[in-house]
Amino acid sequence: LALASGGGHWVQLMRLRPAFDGFEVAYVSMYDSYSEQVSGSRFHVIRDASRFERSSFLSVFVDAILILARERPTVIVTTGSAPMLIFVLLGRLFGRRTLWIDSVANSERLSSSGRVAKKIAHCCVSQWPDVARREGVICWGSVL
């Protein structure tokens, strides 16, 4: 299960697609039109929940339960943002392998979501070597 919020998070996830070769992939994001880019894979839309509207996290929680029940993924990978933490947390509780790739936009420190992911995901990486060193995570390079 590959997840990313709209905009830059999604563009970064798309740039990582060759890493998913050999998997049956289902995608989750915020905009219907993204499904065109991943035709051939299942695509689920969830409601956006930014830090400006905390109440909508409940709807993401419900969506996450339903999508995880339906897809039963072996692996969960995301490039953020905050709402995707809910999938990572639930996935971890269900014993799924979880990977958080902090956005390349976070070039001075991990995102606040990334700091949470560091604690709950099996693996959390930064795309900037100096950020990774400071934050105690690893860096495999960037999507650029």
Binding residues for another protein, rule: CB under 8 A, are 6-12, 14-23, 30-34, 36-37, 48, 50-52, 75, 77, 97, 99, 101, 103-108, 111, 122-123, 129, 132, 138-144
Distance, in Å, from the CA atom of 89 to the CA atom of 82, rounded to the nearest integer, reads 11
**In the complex, least distance from residue 3 CB atom to another protein, rounded to whole angstroms:** 13
**In the complex, least distance from residue 24 CB atom to another protein, rounded to whole angstroms:** 12
Is-contact 86 57, C-beta < 8 A?
yes
Q: β-strands 2-3, 75-78: how paired?
A: parallel
Choose between 36 and 119: whose C-beta lies nearer to another protein: 36
C-alpha separations of 68 from 25, 47, 143 in Å:
13, 16, 26
**In the complex, least distance from residue 97 CB atom to another protein, rounded to whole angstroms:** 5
Choose between 67 and 73: whose C-beta lies nearer to another protein: 73
Is-contact 89 64, C-beta < 8 A?
no
**In the complex, least distance from residue 117 CB atom to another protein, rounded to whole angstroms:** 14
Choose between 31 and 66: whose C-beta lies nearer to another protein: 31
**For helices 84-93 and 57-71, angle between their N-to-C axes, nearest 10 degrees:** 50
Choose between 19 and 66: whose C-beta lies nearer to another protein: 19
